[in-house]
Each structure stands twice: as structure tokens, then as C-alpha cells.
Structure 1
């Protein structure tokens, strides 16, 4: 039975992880993180991609991105981000060669059910890694932007916007949401969907995507989704 490649869909959010080549360190100094975020802020508009959440770790990045009608923008954005960061680090270190793994991991996310859950998963990554005690203490994730008083360059997350009628109400409810204990099943679903290139969603969502792409997606054990 043939294996199915990575599923990418226009106008759907995607949970993306890109790692340093051989898990090498990508971000060392404050300037490294700031450079990547400046590029992300600039290039998202250039390629028509929405940014709902992000977290930059020392050797990888988590992003929650949604391309528009042009699906090519998502891959172009990731390629441009990787190329800019590679040139920047190679210049600093007087070296040549690749900085990132050649292929990023991705999972299409069910908006109404898992968009907020994926944002929480991404922004709590430094807490799970025991780098900080609270998400608010980590400066390189979207949490500070989402809950800060300054205008944010994040795109409007419809699930976050639905948390309340005012900015203060939405921030308060999202903060409480991050403070809740996360169900192990939710963690496993998000983590395994990303690792296996599957969908982050329920059976109804799987059926919806099957109808869109005209292929049968079957959840199995380790490995990518398969076509029947």
C-alpha cells in the first residue's frame, strides 16, 4: 500500500515544527531569536500566511500557521525563514552549510476544536521542558504578545477572539485556560499527529479532509497516514 505524503491545505491552520540539522542549536543569543521573529513578522504578510502562535526553542521552532488561498505560501515562508536564518548564522560563525533539517513536520489542525489547544501546547513547551515555571516567563513565545498590553502582530485567532467580548476578558480566560491541567489524551493526540504527519482533529475532521483531498486517511500506529 503506498504511503501518503504530507497533507497541506489552503485556509486551514497547520502545526509546524522545524528542527536544527542533527538537532544542532539554532538560537544562542537574544539577537538570534529577535532576528527570526522579525523575519517571521515580515514574511508572513509577503507570503499571505497567518501566524496564530509560535515558540522558539534553542534547537527548534513551533509555529501555528494558516496559509490563504495560495497553499504555496506556506512552504515558501518556511523556506525563506530557514534561508535567512542560515545566512545570518553562517555569517556570524564564518561557516557554510545547512542549519535546519531539510523537511519540516506539519499537521493540519481542526480549527473549532484544536486551534486553542495547539496554541496552548506550543506556548507551554518551555514549561514542559522545565526552562521556566510559567509560560509568561518565557520571552520567545507568542504568549507574551497574546496577553500583553502592547498591540500584537499575531493574526486574529478566531477561537481566541471568541473567548470574550473585550481584550481583557479574552486575556483573562486564555490565561485561565493555560492554567488548567492538560488531558494526557490531548497531549498525545497533538504530539503524535505532528510526529506522524497525521491530522490534529476528531473523526469528523478526518472525514472532512478525506472529502477535500479525495483520499482515504487511515489512522495507524507509528508512521505516516496511508491511502486505502
Structure 2
């Protein structure tokens, strides 16, 4: 069954996944992660996308962004993707594609699901067995969101800023969200919505986004995909 066309609504958070071709690695050495993050910072600024959370895994990436326009996410991903592939092919003396087709995405209802999605993203290394705690994994936004580590990429969402009156209060409240693991059903819900280019939110929110976009957005259940 073909995937839905992506639905983008300005200022509505968007969870993005891009995978390496055939699920093969897209990061090979430490410098690759640093180059990708620098390209992401530049592209996010140029295309008016606010990045709230990210993680760079060995063979795929996750982003949570709020775009200012409908064209912002595609422009950002095109810029980062093309420039990063050029770098990798040159640096590692390879040719051909690096990414597995088009990126996938889902709209995220901010009030109920913004922090669900941020936790899903930043806990990805823990679920993959690559770290015991999200703080132990270097290539994610967790240190910035949870401890205020300097990060020129991360732009906190308004809901994050509302977690406290001071940055330290926001960070403490954010860390508290990670004290318990995510229920498997919630993890699967995030995966399903993103793999289907659908919507992560309540039925009322899905209906609102369908009206706003003029597209059918109710997700249909399919086979499970891990990430």
C-alpha cells in the first residue's frame, strides 16, 4: 500500500525519521555526526524550522521540529541530505545513495504528545541497547533539554519553556519525565504514525488536521516496524 503524502501545518510539531539505505549505516566515524549536526543547524536556520529534539543513530535519524511554513521541512531535509551525502561520499570514497528514499514524518499534537515524542526520540539509544541512560549517548538533544548543555541546534518549544519559571526548573521537570519508561503501546503508536506519514494525537486533533489539510489522516494498522 503506498504511503500517504506528507501533511505539514505551519507551527504544528513534526516528527521526522530518515533511514540509511537498506538500513545500512549513514554515520561511520565521529566526524560524520559532527558534520551532520552542523549541516542541520545551518539548514534549520535557513528554512525556519525550530528543532526541539533529535537523535542520530548509526543508521537513521529522528528529529522533532516546528516549521514556519509548509515547505520548510522538505527544504531542510533536502539541504541536509544532499550536502551530507556529498561529504560522506567524498570522505569515505564511496558512490551512490546513502538514504532510503524519502523521509517519513507525522504531525504531533503538542499538548498531549509533544513530550511523548521527545522522550521517544531521546530514549531511542536506550531502546536499541546502545546506552543505559539517554545522557550516556552523545548524539542527541537530551543533554540540552535535560541539563541545559549548550546546543545551537535545539530551540525549546513553548510547552518546554512552560515547565518552569527558570531554565533550571524546566530542566528538572524535563528530567522527571524520564524517570519511567515508555509503555510499549505508546512506543508503537509513535512508530505507526510516523511510518504512515499520519498524525500522532487524539481523534479530535486528527480531524482538525484533516480539515486544515483537506486530506484523510486516520491511520490504518499495518505490520510492525521497529525503530
Normalised TM-score (structure 1): 0.91
In structure 1, the residue matched to 2:90 is: 91
In structure 2, the residue matched to 1:26 is: 26
State the 1:145 CA deviation.
Answer: 1.7
State the 1:103 CA deviation.
Answer: 0.4
State the 1:29 CA deviation.
Answer: 1.0
In structure 1, the residue matched to 2:127 is: 128
State the 1:210 CA deviation.
Answer: 1.7
State the 1:181 CA deviation.
Answer: 2.8
Q: Is it true that 1:75 corresponds to 2:74 in the alignment?
A: yes
In structure 2, the residue matched to 1:137 is: 136
The Cα offsets for residues 183-209 of structure 1, whole Å up to 9 and x where unpaired, read as 233212111111222210011101111
> Structure 2 unaligned runs (5+)?
none
CA contact (8 A) 1:126 1:132 kept: yes
CA contact (8 A) 2:21 2:100 kept: yes
State the 1:215 CA deviation.
Answer: 3.4
Aligned CA distance change for structure 1 residues 90 and 71 (closer, same or farther; 3 Å): same
The Cα offsets for residues 159-181 of structure 1, whole Å up to 9 and x where unpaired, read as 21121111111111111111223
For the residues of structure 2 that align with 1:218 and 1:141, how far apart are their CA atoms? 30
Q: Is it true that 1:176 corresponds to 2:151 in the alignment?
A: no
The Cα offsets for residues 122-179 of structure 1, whole Å up to 9 and x where unpaired, read as 0000000010100000000000122334433211212211211111111111111112
For the residues of structure 2 that align with 1:140 and 1:115, how far apart are their CA atoms? 20
For the residues of structure 1 that align with 2:73 and 2:3, how far apart are their CA atoms? 22
CA contact (8 A) 1:50 1:67 kept: yes
For the residues of structure 2 that align with 1:184 and 1:94, how far apart are their CA atoms? 40
Normalised TM-score (structure 2): 0.92
Spell out structure 1 runs of 4+ moving beyond 6 A: none
In structure 2, the residue matched to 1:226 is: none
In structure 1, the residue matched to 2:190 is: 190
CA contact (8 A) 1:12 1:111 kept: yes
- What secondary structure does 2:35 align onto? helix
CA contact (8 A) 1:146 1:152 kept: no
The aligned length equals 222
In structure 1, the residue matched to 2:164 is: 164
For the residues of structure 1 that align with 2:215 and 2:130, how far apart are their CA atoms? 41
> Structure 1 unaligned runs (5+)?
224-228
Range 96-105 or range 45-54, more displaced: 96-105
Please provide the CA RMSD for this pair: 1.8
Q: Is it true that 1:210 corresponds to 2:210 in the alignment?
A: yes
In structure 1, the residue matched to 2:219 is: 219
For the residues of structure 2 that align with 1:3 and 1:19, how far apart are their CA atoms? 16
